[in-house]
Amino acid sequence: MAGLLDLTDDVLAEILVRVPSPRDLARASAACSSFRRLAASPRFLRRFRSLHPPLPLGVLCHDGAAAPFHPALRPHPSAPAARALALASDFFLSFLPSPARGWLLRDHRDDRLLLDRALAGGCTAFTDIAVCDPLFRRYVMLPPIPDDLAASVENPYLQRGGDGGLQSRSSEIFLASCGTDSGGEEPSFAVIWMACCRGKLVAFFFSSESQQWRALSPPEHYALSMRRVMGVRLGQRNHAHGCFYWMITLTHRWLVLDTRRMEFFVADISPVLSGRAMMFSNQISTMDSMDGSTTVVVADVFRPDKRCVLYLYKFMYFSDPWQLQSKINLPEEWGYRFRGIVGAYEGSLFMKLDHPKQNLRDPVQQNITYFVFDIKTMQLGRFCEISSGSSEAYLYTGFPPSQTLPCV
């Protein structure tokens, strides 16, 4: 240890930045005050975070009032970091402008949460939009979409909700990373706003660098729907290698947004899904692969044998045919408990299961369990649990509080 302490900060930084994971850095920084001081410096943390993926720390679920965080449970290796984050952060978002019940969680990325709230008058498309940092209790309000852009949005179809209440939305909004992390500046971010109108899809892009909204050029509406006049409801959003994917259920096509170019296009996935009479958007997910390819996971649950089977396909470019990599039979009892895939992380899938039917009368057992499934090792483990009354859920990935910098 004495030999290490004699090294300069630059040499120590070169050693610490090469530790395998954020968990290992947390253990190393606890060894002595010199390591802790170096590992907590903003310059080092920005470099370390750019080289290491965030950890799966838990699940975010909104109930219309806030976005409670459900941390990963033991024996999952992220459990200590998840508990530390839960204790240090304000996931109830009490620092946002009141009333707290008006804010609806829309997305999470890079330690940030994206929320919006309905405006007076009951508009379900245009809302107040906030980006916040629950650990450092900071937020920024985005400027309204300019009138000249908003004028292109005509009678948008509802994308979530349906009763016209506070949780009904006619827009799809989400976060995207943009720009590079350089110098002492905070990482930039982008917000994408989309609405499906009669005969067209409208999309806008906001950059934290320019502080301006601008229009994007989505594909023609007829490429998405079976009929030009039919409304399109966007399915669950997936992400891999800088691209976002939505499955258009009725046509078995994908709407794709490449955020590196800020361009839309449509990909036909019907050959893979042919023969499946029904397919919901939460039965298909995407994963990054180390070689730059994209892995697509399709869950087949509507089978005569009542089993749940995962099909893993792989492609490098969108023009490539999908190659079947493997077929995985999940435990037999999952056939009626499986409720979809909520996220993916470095070769692992996070899947949602409701409570066993035989325990319907036991309130203790009426939970939704999230499992993590390692595709390579075929190991299955419990990730976390939430009450069965919770609705939409997001897999939360991030870093321990000691490795986190303000992002807003």
> How confident is the model over 12-24, as pLDDT tens digits?
888 888 888 888 8
Instruction: Give the list of residues 6+ apart from residue 320 with CB closer than 8 angstroms, or none.
Output: none
Contact 342, 394 (CB under 8 A): yes
Q: Is the pLDDT of residue 389 over 60?
A: no
Report pLDDT for 134: 95
Q: Is the pLDDT of residue 396 over 90?
A: yes
Task: Compute the mean pLDDT over every residue in the chain, rounded to the nearest whole number.
Answer: 82
Report pLDDT for 224: 64
| Mean pLDDT calculated for residue range 302-329 | 83
Contact 203, 218 (CB under 8 A): yes
Report pLDDT for 205: 95
| Confidence class for position 180, pLDDT limits 50, 70, 90 | very low
Contact 190, 177 (CB under 8 A): yes
Q: Which of 71-80, 343-352, 394-403 has the lowest mean pLDDT?
A: 343-352
Report pLDDT for 266: 84
Name the CATH architecture for the domain at 53-403: 6 Propeller (2.120)
Structure tokens at 209: 């660098």
Report pLDDT for 228: 45
Residue keyed to tokens 């399915």: 235
Contact 69, 58 (CB under 8 A): yes
DSSP 101: G
| Confidence class for position 338, pLDDT limits 50, 70, 90 | confident
Report pLDDT for 229: 43
Residue keyed to tokens 């309204």: 144
Tell whether omega for the bond before 75 is within 30 degrees of 0, i.e. cis: yes
Q: Are strands 189-197 and 200-207 parallel, antiparallel or unpaired?
A: antiparallel
Report pLDDT for 247: 80
Query: Which percentage of the chain shows pLDDT scores above 90?
Result: 28
3-class state of residue 400 by DSSP:
coil
Domain boundaries, the chain: 1-52, 53-403
3-class state of residue 134 by DSSP:
coil
| Mean pLDDT calculated for residue range 339-363 | 74
Strand ranges, E, within 249-379 = 253-258, 263-268, 284-288, 294-300, 309-315, 323-329, 338-345, 348-353, 367-374
Cα separation, 18 vs 362, in Å, equals: 49
Residue 1's CB: how many other CB atoms inside 10 A? 9
Report pLDDT for 181: 47
Q: Are strands 284-288 and 263-268 parallel, antiparallel or unpaired?
A: unpaired
| Confidence class for position 190, pLDDT limits 50, 70, 90 | very high
Q: Is the pLDDT of residue 398 over 90?
A: yes
Contact 219, 232 (CB under 8 A): no
| Mean pLDDT calculated for residue range 72-83 | 93
| Partners of residue 289 on adjacent β-strands | none
Residue 334's CB: how many other CB atoms inside 10 A? 20
Q: Is the pLDDT of residue 29 over 70?
A: yes
Report pLDDT for 183: 45
Residue keyed to tokens 């749940």: 308
Q: Is the pLDDT of residue 182 over 50?
A: no
Report pLDDT for 216: 93
Cα separation, 134 vs 131, in Å, equals: 10
Residue 97's CB: how many other CB atoms inside 10 A? 12
Contact 135, 89 (CB under 8 A): yes
User: What are the distances in angstroms from CA 198 to CA 67, 195, 230, 303?
Assistant: 32, 10, 7, 35
Residue 174's CB: how many other CB atoms inside 10 A? 18
Contact 234, 194 (CB under 8 A): yes
Report pLDDT for 13: 85
Residue 294, phi then psi, degrees to nearest 5: -115, 130
User: H or E segment at 48?
Assistant: helix 42-51
3-class state of residue 150 by DSSP:
helix
DSSP 14: H
> How confident is the model over 192-243, as pLDDT tens digits?
999 988 778 899 999 999 999 999 987 766 566 545 444 566 778 888 888 9
> How confident is the model over 258-310, as pLDDT tens digits?
998 889 988 877 666 665 555 666 678 888 877 888 888 888 877 777 788 88
> How confident is the model over 236-248, as pLDDT tens digits?
888 888 899 888 7
Q: Are strands 127-133 and 112-118 parallel, antiparallel or unpaired?
A: antiparallel
